């Protein structure tokens, strides 16, 4: 928000610190305070700044973020440098991209050099970082550095408050502000091709100022960030410290980073006559010098010289800009891959990525790529999964960074991967939009998916905790893989949902993805297992893969649907994630085996020799019961082949929703009631012919099919079976009434017995005391003496 267009009267808001007047890159280092002309220009600039500066307030969230940063006790203040260098590198990427289609944007001479320069002014305690990137217009400065909060700002503020860890700042897109860890006043001088040079400045006191720059040297193009360091941040004025930080954090920046560094050099200077006569007192001359002098004396009469040490300044290149992905994978060390991951993902925690794949694709479409599985899923991976266009791969074309918003490179379900692709096949001089439609992208995408799935498969293969085939036992025994122990479970816990979403979305790779599925089963003993392992353990007579869906393993373990299967030694998969219901609508078969939900119709578990006999014997009961349930949307009543100890269950038809899916759909706010009714599976009541209750019912029906108490019991049995089978009752009141009737009969109470009527106490005249008590009890509810609600609301608003 703009405060004042001309803010002379509030000039204290932005004070006037000393300024570095020298043009960075100039020779001879920094000039001194004693320079009169500079002092003049400083005082000039103070005036200009004060009278012309437009002042703005930071957007509230940004201001909060800055408060937190400036007051932070976070010890790793070093992070600011990598954030500023990363911003500089982004700005350079942007101008280089524009230059692909219009060379002129680069300008001429030094301006065309795509580089980053760091300079120190020890006397004034200023650290400057300059790039020749795209720069910012006045409007950019106002928007980018203060008035428009990035989407990640409040997420980061929250994270900071809970964890106190500033290290992740770059991941939330607010890295610039980390500079306030070390500086209490910052100037951002910027020149964009479309605008004049402007200065943004702020002391982080909720406000910032922007003014046209008429006093600094012109930058040509780009941005210079001047950090006026806090007293306690003096270490960042040490060249050695900066060199170390650039090496550590910015090793993989693809532009040269140089430091204006001091160097001791020996130079020859002419020796004054009287000086040479007084050689005894010359302390700086060395033996060598003496010899040299002697030689000269021997030869032609030359001007006498001596060597002296002098401190000179020059740009020292700090990084090696050879891109890691251009090197052969054999040459790159594990440590380098890890560091590259950190810089790519802006995730500077100590954690190593779980896996990586560096490869060179040849053929019609040539490209190099590095893919990483991050150590952790980002906080918002599945938030608005279908609506966000998050792509984490960076696309380069012949070493030029093009975009990191290319969602054509990987399908959504793999968007958790980080990495980059550098293609020689894609054209350089076309717009992003045209590139997005380039036919090679399809091939690149296909190969990337294959490589990504291979990389994930290997994670499992290398994990000694995974149950391996016999031939792989050797790897297990070698003991070399301790580090890899449990890595696939870790992967699964972080990204398992993505594999499931992949099965739903990517028909072409469904089988490959199904191989990566993990789940618990009735036999997995609390561990995760795979479909391959399941198939290996299948009983000879078993044709289908059995699974059951529900909200938790603990609940499913007790499910009546499993009774007979477990008794007979079959293994059943537990699917407990809501996404599993969707998953199983797409995953129809695996390795020629069909999937069978054991709570649905069609379960085949061996043959019971008495099947036919039982069917016949219970025919009367099943027919009677079906008729009795006519109003309940029950399709049939059948003899069950899945029950052992439970009298009856309700199963659903094969293609309708399971009870679990019905529950999931009912809990969705926006689900459509009509669709719910349509998709609800047809229900079948299955009865256990070996159960005493069922046997008793059968006998009772045989003697009197009109017996009301039997009808009542049968209805209660059905409703109980619904609950046990995972359905939600539509009329719980009716169910409760039946239970109470049954309790009455259990307690030998007459079915007609009703609750006693309450005897109304005679109305007493109200005393004032009674009124008070009543008013307290009701706490403003129905109490006529309480303030009306509207009035209360108004008062609250006033307080706010
Ligand atoms: N050196 C620079 N040159 C040009 N623009 C810059 C420069 N530094 C920052 N900006 C602009 O200011 C914005 C805010 O920077 P900030 O560091 O807070 O976030 P970011 O760069 O988008 O994300 P991250 O912190 O992850 O790098 C940037 O998006 C960019 O537009």
pLDDT tens for each residue of 408-454: 899 999 999 999 999 988 888 777 788 888 888 999 999 999 999 99
- Residue with the two structure tokens 């810089």: 343
Ligand 1 within 6 A of CB of 91: yes
| Helix%, strand%, coil% for the chain, nearest 5 | 45, 20, 40
Higher pLDDT, 571 or 760: 571
| Rg over CA atoms, the chain | 39
Ligand 1 within 6 A of CB of 17: no
Mean pLDDT across 741-756 = 89
Q: Taking 80 as the threshold, does the pLDDT of residue 168 lie above it?
A: no
> Using one digit for the tens of pLDDT, what is the confidence trace for 613-631?
888 999 999 999 999 998 8
Mean pLDDT across 381-410 = 81
Ligand 1 within 6 A of CB of 88: yes
For residue 167, give Cα distances in angstroms to 152, 160, 350.
Answer: 14, 9, 10
Lookup: tokens for 422:
């550098």
Among residues 410, 475, 80, which one has the least CA distance to residue 249?
Answer: 80
Residue nearest to ligand 1 atom 23, measured at CA? 173
CA 88 to centroid of ligand 1, rounded, Å: 8
Q: For position 290, what pLDDT does the model report?
A: 47
Least confident of 56-65, 355-364, 389-398, 554-563: 389-398
Residue 86 CA: nearest ligand 1 atom is 27
Ligand 1 within 6 A of CB of 87: yes
- Sequence-separated (6 or more) residues with CB below 8 Å from residue 523: 537, 571
Higher pLDDT, 165 or 545: 545
658: left (phi over 0), alpha (psi -120 to 50) or beta: beta
Banded pLDDT at 298 (limits 50, 70, 90): low
CA 122 to centroid of ligand 1, rounded, Å: 26
Distance CA 313, CA 14 (A): 33
Q: Taking 50 as the threshold, does the pLDDT of residue 16 lie above it?
A: no
Banded pLDDT at 565 (limits 50, 70, 90): very high
Q: For position 216, what pLDDT does the model report?
A: 93
CA 418 to centroid of ligand 1, rounded, Å: 20
CA 639 to centroid of ligand 1, rounded, Å: 69
Residues in a beta bridge with 521: 573
Lookup: tokens for 677:
């009714």
Q: For position 15, what pLDDT does the model report?
A: 44
CA 212 to centroid of ligand 1, rounded, Å: 20
Starting at the edge strand that comes first in sequence, how are the strands of the sheet with 648-652 ordered? 634-639, 683-687, 648-652
Q: Taking 90 as the threshold, does the pLDDT of residue 47 lie above it?
A: no
Mean pLDDT across 234-255 = 91
Residue 171 CA: nearest ligand 1 atom is 26
Q: Taking 70 as the threshold, does the pLDDT of residue 611 lie above it?
A: yes
Ligand 1 within 6 A of CB of 89: no
Residue 134 CA: nearest ligand 1 atom is 4
**Do the strands 197-202 and 257-270 form a parallel or antiparallel pair, or are they unpaired?**
unpaired
Ligand 1 within 6 A of CB of 152: no
Q: For position 435, what pLDDT does the model report?
A: 82
Ligand 1 within 6 A of CB of 22: no
Mean pLDDT across 152-171 = 79
- Residue of 24, 80, 144, 192 to mutate, ligand 1, most atoms within 8 A of C-beta: 144
- Residue of 83, 176, 210, 405 to mutate, ligand 1, most atoms within 8 A of C-beta: 176
CA 224 to centroid of ligand 1, rounded, Å: 13
Higher pLDDT, 139 or 470: 139
Q: For position 604, what pLDDT does the model report?
A: 84
Residue 88 CA: nearest ligand 1 atom is 1
Among residues 74, 89, 189, 165, which one has the least CA distance to residue 133?
Answer: 89
CA 18 to centroid of ligand 1, rounded, Å: 25
Ligand 1 within 6 A of CB of 173: yes
Q: Taking 60 as the threshold, does the pLDDT of residue 407 lie above it?
A: yes
Ligand 1 within 6 A of CB of 346: yes
Banded pLDDT at 268 (limits 50, 70, 90): confident
Distance CA 261, CA 510 (A): 57
Q: For position 671, what pLDDT does the model report?
A: 66
Ligand 1 within 6 A of CB of 86: yes
Residue 133 CA: nearest ligand 1 atom is 3
Ligand 1 within 6 A of CB of 561: no
Higher pLDDT, 755 or 259: 259
- Residue of 87, 135, 137, 139 to mutate, ligand 1, most atoms within 8 A of C-beta: 87
Q: Taking 60 as the threshold, does the pLDDT of residue 299 lie above it?
A: no
> Using one digit for the tens of pLDDT, what is the confidence trace for 571-598?
999 999 999 999 999 999 999 999 999 9
Lookup: tokens for 479:
């003991």
Cα first-last separation, the chain: 22
Banded pLDDT at 479 (limits 50, 70, 90): low
Residue nearest to ligand 1 atom 24, measured at CA? 173
Residue 222 CA: nearest ligand 1 atom is 3
CA 87 to centroid of ligand 1, rounded, Å: 5
Three-class secondary structure assignment of 46-96: HHHHHHHCEEEECCHHHHHHHHHHHCCCCCCCCHHHHHHHHHHHHHHHHHH
Distance CA 563, CA 620 (A): 26
Q: Taking 70 as the threshold, does the pLDDT of residue 382 lie above it?
A: yes
Q: Taking 90 as the threshold, does the pLDDT of residue 174 lie above it?
A: no
Lookup: tokens for 132:
């020749």
Distance CA 535, CA 539 (A): 9
Ligand 1 within 6 A of CB of 126: no
Least confident of 181-195, 282-296, 452-466: 282-296
Mean pLDDT across 648-670 = 84
Banded pLDDT at 267 (limits 50, 70, 90): confident
Residues in a beta bridge with 395: 403, 421
Among residues 419, 393, 426, which one has the least CA distance to residue 407?
Answer: 393
Residue nearest to ligand 1 atom 7, measured at CA? 87
Q: Taking 80 as the threshold, does the pLDDT of residue 42 lie above it?
A: no
Ligand 1 within 6 A of CB of 83: yes
- Residue with the two structure tokens 């740009």: 315
Assess contact for 551 and 541: CB atoms under 8 A.
Answer: no
Banded pLDDT at 472 (limits 50, 70, 90): low
Q: For position 201, what pLDDT does the model report?
A: 94
Q: Distance between alpha carbon 45 and the CA centroid of its chain, in Å?
A: 45
CA 109 to centroid of ligand 1, rounded, Å: 26
Q: What is the DSSP string of 590-638?
A: ETTEEEEETTBTT---S--TTHHHHHHHTHHHHHHHHHHTGGGTEEEEE
Banded pLDDT at 663 (limits 50, 70, 90): confident
Distance CA 770, CA 473 (A): 83
Residue 680 DSSP label: B
Ligand 1 within 6 A of CB of 166: no
Starting at the edge strand that comes first in sequence, how are the strands of the sheet with 418-423 ordered? 355-361, 367-373, 418-423, 393-397, 400-403
Ligand 1 within 6 A of CB of 174: yes
Least confident of 51-60, 140-149, 474-483, 729-738: 474-483
Least confident of 267-281, 580-594, 743-757: 267-281
For residue 580, give Cα distances in angstroms to 376, 536, 592, 615, 664.
Answer: 22, 22, 20, 35, 11
Mean pLDDT across 377-382 = 81
CA 84 to centroid of ligand 1, rounded, Å: 8
Residue nearest to ligand 1 atom 14, measured at CA? 144
Q: For position 151, what pLDDT does the model report?
A: 75
Share of the chain above pLDDT 70, in %: 82
Q: Taking 80 as the threshold, does the pLDDT of residue 329 lie above it?
A: yes
Q: For position 721, what pLDDT does the model report?
A: 95
Residue nearest to ligand 1 atom 30, measured at CA? 144
Higher pLDDT, 581 or 276: 581
Assess contact for 685 and 636: CB atoms under 8 A.
Answer: yes
CA 98 to centroid of ligand 1, rounded, Å: 17
Banded pLDDT at 204 (limits 50, 70, 90): confident
Ligand 1 within 6 A of CB of 133: yes
Q: For position 220, what pLDDT does the model report?
A: 96
The continuous run of DSSP H or E covering 264 comes out as strand 257-270
CA 443 to centroid of ligand 1, rounded, Å: 33
Q: Taking 80 as the threshold, does the pLDDT of residue 763 lie above it?
A: no
Report helix, strand or coil for 178. helix
Scored b (16 or more CB within 10 A) or e, 353-363 reads bbbbbbbebee
CA 437 to centroid of ligand 1, rounded, Å: 28
Mean pLDDT across 542-557 = 94
Q: For position 48, what pLDDT does the model report?
A: 40
Mean pLDDT across 704-728 = 92
pTM of the model: 0.72
Arithmetic mean of pLDDT over the chain: 82
Residue nearest to ligand 1 atom 29, measured at CA? 144
Banded pLDDT at 210 (limits 50, 70, 90): very high
Residue 87 CA: nearest ligand 1 atom is 8
- Residue of 90, 200, 257, 401 to mutate, ligand 1, most atoms within 8 A of C-beta: 90
């Amino acid at each position: 928000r703009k405060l004042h267009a001309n803010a002379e009267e509030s000039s204290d808001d932005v004070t006037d610190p000393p300024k570095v007047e020298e043009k960075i890159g100039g020779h001879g280092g920094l000039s001194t305070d004693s320079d009169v002309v500079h002092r003049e220009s400083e005082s000039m600039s103070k005036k200009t700044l004060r009278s012309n500066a437009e002042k703005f307030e930071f957007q509230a969230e940004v201001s909060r973020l800055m408060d937190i940063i400036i007051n932070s006790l976070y010890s790793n203040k070093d992070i600011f440098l990598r954030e500023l260098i990363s911003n500089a590198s982004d700005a350079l990427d942007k101008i280089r991209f524009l230059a692909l289609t219009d060379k002129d944007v680069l300008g001429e001479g030094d301006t065309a050099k795509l580089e980053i320069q760091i300079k120190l002014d020890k006397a004034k305690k200023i650290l400057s970082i300059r790039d020749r990137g795209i720069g910012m217009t006045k409007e950019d400065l106002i928007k980018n550095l203060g008035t428009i909060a990035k989407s990640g700002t409040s997420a980061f503020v929250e994270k900071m408050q809970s964890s106190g860890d500033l290290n992740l700042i770059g991941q939330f897109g607010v890295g610039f502000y980390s500079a306030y860890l070390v500086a209490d006043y910052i100037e951002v001088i910027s020149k964009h091709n479309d605008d004049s040079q402007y200065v943004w400045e702020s002391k982080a006191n909720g406000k910032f100022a922007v003014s046209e720059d008429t006093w600094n040297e012109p930058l040509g193009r780009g941005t210079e960030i001047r950090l006026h360091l806090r007293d306690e941040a003096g270490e960042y004025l040490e060249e050695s410290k900066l060199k170390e930080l650039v090496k550590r954090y910015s090793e993989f920046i693809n532009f040269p980073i140089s430091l204006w560094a001091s160097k001791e050099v020996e130079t020859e200077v002419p020796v004054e006559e009287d000086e040479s006569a007084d050689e005894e007192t010359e302390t700086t001359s060395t033996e060598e010098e003496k010899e040299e002098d002697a030689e000269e004396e021997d030869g032609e009469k030359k001007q006498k010289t001596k060597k002296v040490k002098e401190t000179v300044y020059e740009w020292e290149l700090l990084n090696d800009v050879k891109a890691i992905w251009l090197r052969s994978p054999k040459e790159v060390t594990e440590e380098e891959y890890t560091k590259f991951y950190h810089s790519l993902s802006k995730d500077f925690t100590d954690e190593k990525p779980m896996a990586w794949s560096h490869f060179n694709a040849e053929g019609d479409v040539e490209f190099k790529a590095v893919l990483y599985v991050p150590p952790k899923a980002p906080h918002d991976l599945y938030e608005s999964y279908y609506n966000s266009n998050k792509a984490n791969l960076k696309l380069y074309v012949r070493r030029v960074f093009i975009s990191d918003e290319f969602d054509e490179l990987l399908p959504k379900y793999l968007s958790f991967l980080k990495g980059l692709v550098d293609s020689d096949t894609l054209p350089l001089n076309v717009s992003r939009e045209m590139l997005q439609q380039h036919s090679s992208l399809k091939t690149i995408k296909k190969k990337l998916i294959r490589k990504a799935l291979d990389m994930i498969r290997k994670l499992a293969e290398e994990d000694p905790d995974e149950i391996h085939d016999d031939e792989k036992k050797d790897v297990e025994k070698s003991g070399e893989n301790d580090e890899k122990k449990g890595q696939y479970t870790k992967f699964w816990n972080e990204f398992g949902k993505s594999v499931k979403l992949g099965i739903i979305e990517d028909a072409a790779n469904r089988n490959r993805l199904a191989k990566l599925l993990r789940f618990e089963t009735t036999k997995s003993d609390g561990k995760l297992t795979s479909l391959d392992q399941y198939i290996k353990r299948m009983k000879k007579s078993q044709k289908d893969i059995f699974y059951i869906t529900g909200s938790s393993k603990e609940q499913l373990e007790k499910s009546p649907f499993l009774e007979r299967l477990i008794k007979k030694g079959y293994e059943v998969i537990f699917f407990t994630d809501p996404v599993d219901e969707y998953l199983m609508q797409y995953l129809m078969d695996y390795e020629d085996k069909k999937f069978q939900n054991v709570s649905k119709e069609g379960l085949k578990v061996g043959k019971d020799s008495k099947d036919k006999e039982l069917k016949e014997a219970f025919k009367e009961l099943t027919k009677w019961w079906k008729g009795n349930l006519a109003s309940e949307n029950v399709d049939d009543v059948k003899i069950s082949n899945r029950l052992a100890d439970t009298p009856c269950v309700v199963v659903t038809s094969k293609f309708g929703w399971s009870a679990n899916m019905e529950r999931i759909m009912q809990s969705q706010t926006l689900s459509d009631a009509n669709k719910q009714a349509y998709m609800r599976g047809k229900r079948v009541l299955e009865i256990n012919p070996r159960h005493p209750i069922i046997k008793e019912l059968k006998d009772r029906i045989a003697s009197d099919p009109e017996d009301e108490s039997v009808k009542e019991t049968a209805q209660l049995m059905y409703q109980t079976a619904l609950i046990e089978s995972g359905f939600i009752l539509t009329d719980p009141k009716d169910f409760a009434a039946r239970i109470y009737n049954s309790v009455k009969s259990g307690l030998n109470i007459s079915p007609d017995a009703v609750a006693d009527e309450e005897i109304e106490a005679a109305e007493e005249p109200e005393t004032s005391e009674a009124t008070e008590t009543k008013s307290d009890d009701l706490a403003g509810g129905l109490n006529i003496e309480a303030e009306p609600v509207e009035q209360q609301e108004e008062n609250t608003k006033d307080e706010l």
